[in-house]
Structure 1
Amino acid sequence: MNTFGRILTAMVTPFHDDFSVNYDAAANLAKYLIANGSDGLVVAGSTGESATLSNEEKLRLFATVLEAVGDKATVIAGTGSNDTMASIKLTQAAEKLGVHGAMLVGPYYNKPPQEGFYQHFKAIADTTNLPLIIYNVPGRTSSNILPGTIARLSEIKNIVAVKEASGNLEQVAEIVRTTPNDFMVYSGDDSLTLPILAVGGVGIISVAAHIVGNRMQDMISAFKDNDLAKAQAIQSELLPFFRMMFITTNPIPVKTAVNLIGQKAGCFRLPLIPPTSTELDQIKSCLTKMNLI
């Protein structure tokens, strides 16, 4: 495997007004994203409100997205949790559906030591043939998977990538330095996509690509073509939008933006709530300035 793709969009989960999952809208959104800059999709990740989805809902989402775009794009199942045995069972069930890989978030709340991280991910990897992406997001998990631990995990055959959302560019560079050449390092922060490419990353697992996926592809293509001036210009163009997507808790801004551009994303499950009127005005203003609505 060379890559899952340059841009994997961490897809929002559409809901009906009664808070049930809108599977038809999920299929349509998946098709829209693949037609507009995404090489693949991460389904039921944190942007997909995974914390409030049941395993049954997740599995049906995986199957729905696979049916919609699985022959055209990479479909990655969000199967990680802070319960190793539960993660094993969900990963195995997702594998049976035919997903192309699974993403495993660092265990939250437990705050394991580094050896605990290693044993957690190794235990899951030992029970599946799926290629696995480790997801390091200290801002949500309250613990950081250190480069040395990622380097050890990269020696396991089917642990093939990391989504790095620590915000620490030196840490990302150290992971690139200490892992095999074919180990994939993805940015977990839209605004750091270009810097992470510069230190050896392969792409982005993105929130913003719901809205600006084509432009992000332009930026990555310019970088790969050694047109750094163009890549930097697009980064500067998109930076205000990247910031706007995090004016409040993700996925509140992006799900709102998806609705505003005419795609059906629906409402939020508690404890997430709609944006405030001020936040909504800011999101609308940003989309208007970029000629997106």
Structure 2
Amino acid sequence: MDFGRLITAMVTPFNANGEINWDETSRLIDYLIEEQKTDSIVVAGTTGESPTLSDDEKLKLFQFVVEHAAGRSKVIAGTGSNNTAHSVELTQKAEQCGVDGILLVAPYYNKPNQEGMFLHFKAIAESTKLPIMLYNVPGRTGVSISAATTLRLAQIPNIVATKECVSLDQITQIAAGAPEGFITYSGDDSSALPALSVGAYGIVSVASHIAGKQMKDMIEAYVQGNVQEAAKLHQKLFPLFKGLFECPNPLPNPSAVKFALIERGYQVGGVRLPLISPSESEAAYIRKVLEDL
């Protein structure tokens, strides 16, 4: 399965009552595919506020996005958790919804060792025919899938990719040792271009909600050997990459990008507690980042 080089981790639009806004979800899907040129969409990932979505909401989202995307992009369902049996069940139900792939975050909070994580992912992979992307984000989960464990998991036929939010060193190790067909994505927008230079294939992005087309141009410039042009695009986009997370103090994703989308005319609503929307000063900072872009 080729998920493409630009994957957007889609926000989940909410209405004023905090419920999923299905009309705006349709608009957002069209916008991401047609205007921002995303190759694939992750549904119910971190940016989609997976911790505060119910299983019923996730399954309805999976089906809705599959039907509305209608083959224009791949749809990847976030079904990972720190409960292996629950992840197996949700993965199997996602497969029935017609998604193209699965995103599995490292099991958080209970802090398994490397063997426990290997067996966790192996059990989920064996429960489905769908291609799987691992998601390594120790800043959120409290555990890190080692490069050695990732390469071991890469031997399982339907574990085909990893999204890495660790370091360029780790991306380098995985890219160097991976079997043919296993690909590595950066999960950090600001590291997208550096990650390509050490063997990553693409980016699972938040900033692509706002600048997906420019990011696609940056990736294509690098792949075609126009490194200077890619660097110029990276430099232009860098304030956005940082601004959506630091504005100017660390702001949990997806608070900033949801506000940025609202500024661009997409009524995606606020975030569910315990996340909160940007303060007045943070909102002013995000507006300035968008104006400068």
CA distance in 1, matches of 2:48, 2:202: 20
Deviations 1:1-35 (A, max 9, x none): 3x201111000000011111112211210111011
* RMSD value, Cα: 0.7
Deviations 1:231-259 (A, max 9, x none): 00001110011000102111111111011
- Is 1:29 matched up with 2:32? no
1:264, distance to aligned residue in structure 2 (A): 1.9
1:177, distance to aligned residue in structure 2 (A): 1.1
- Is 1:110 matched up with 2:110? yes
Aligned to 1:39: 39
Aligned to 1:187: 186
Aligned to 1:169: 168
CA distance in 2, matches of 1:109, 1:189: 22
Aligned to 2:206: 207
For residue 117 of structure 1, what is the amino acid of its counterpart?
M
For residue 79 of structure 1, what is the amino acid of its counterpart?
T
Contact 1:37 1:216 in 2 (8 A): no
CA distance in 1, matches of 2:23, 2:117: 36
For residue 90 of structure 2, what is the amino acid of its counterpart?
L
For residue 180 of structure 2, what is the amino acid of its counterpart?
N
Contact 1:131 1:159 in 2 (8 A): yes
Count of aligned pairs: 288
Deviations 1:183-212 (A, max 9, x none): 010100001111111111110000000000
Query: Which residues of structure 1 form unaligned runs of 5+?
Result: none
Aligned to 1:249: 252
- Is 1:263 matched up with 2:266? yes
Superposition pairs of residues 224-243 of structure 1, within 5 angstroms:
224-243=223-242
Deviations 1:102-133 (A, max 9, x none): 10000000110000110000000011000000
Match of 1:196, SS? helix
Deviations 1:136-182 (A, max 9, x none): 0001001110000000000000000000011x111110011111131
CA distance in 1, matches of 2:51, 2:19: 14
Superposition pairs of residues 62-77 of structure 1, within 5 angstroms:
62-77=62-77
1:266, distance to aligned residue in structure 2 (A): 0.7
Contact 1:105 1:136 in 2 (8 A): yes
Match of 1:245, SS? helix
Deviations 1:17-59 (A, max 9, x none): 1111112211210111011221110000000000000000001
Contact 1:222 1:228 in 2 (8 A): yes
Query: Which residues of structure 2 form unaligned runs of 5+?
Result: none
CA distance in 2, matches of 1:181, 1:158: 13
Match of 2:139, SS? helix
CA distance in 2, matches of 1:264, 1:94: 27
**Sequence identity of aligned pairs in percent?**
49
For residue 250 of structure 1, what is the amino acid of its counterpart?
N
CA distance in 1, matches of 2:79, 2:26: 19
Greater displacement, 27-36 / 43-52: 27-36
1:227, distance to aligned residue in structure 2 (A): 0.3
Contact 2:13 2:22 in 1 (8 A): yes
For residue 72 of structure 2, what is the amino acid of its counterpart?
K
1:83, distance to aligned residue in structure 2 (A): 0.5
For residue 119 of structure 1, what is the amino acid of its counterpart?
L
Contact 2:209 2:257 in 1 (8 A): yes
CA distance in 1, matches of 2:128, 2:26: 26
What is the TM-score normalised by the length of structure 1? Answer: 0.97
CA distance in 1, matches of 2:222, 2:262: 31
For residue 278 of structure 2, what is the amino acid of its counterpart?
P
Aligned to 2:154: 154
1:70, distance to aligned residue in structure 2 (A): 3.3
Contact 1:29 1:264 in 2 (8 A): no
Contact 2:255 2:270 in 1 (8 A): no
For residue 112 of structure 1, what is the amino acid of its counterpart?
P
For residue 15 of structure 1, what is the amino acid of its counterpart?
F
1:288, distance to aligned residue in structure 2 (A): 1.0
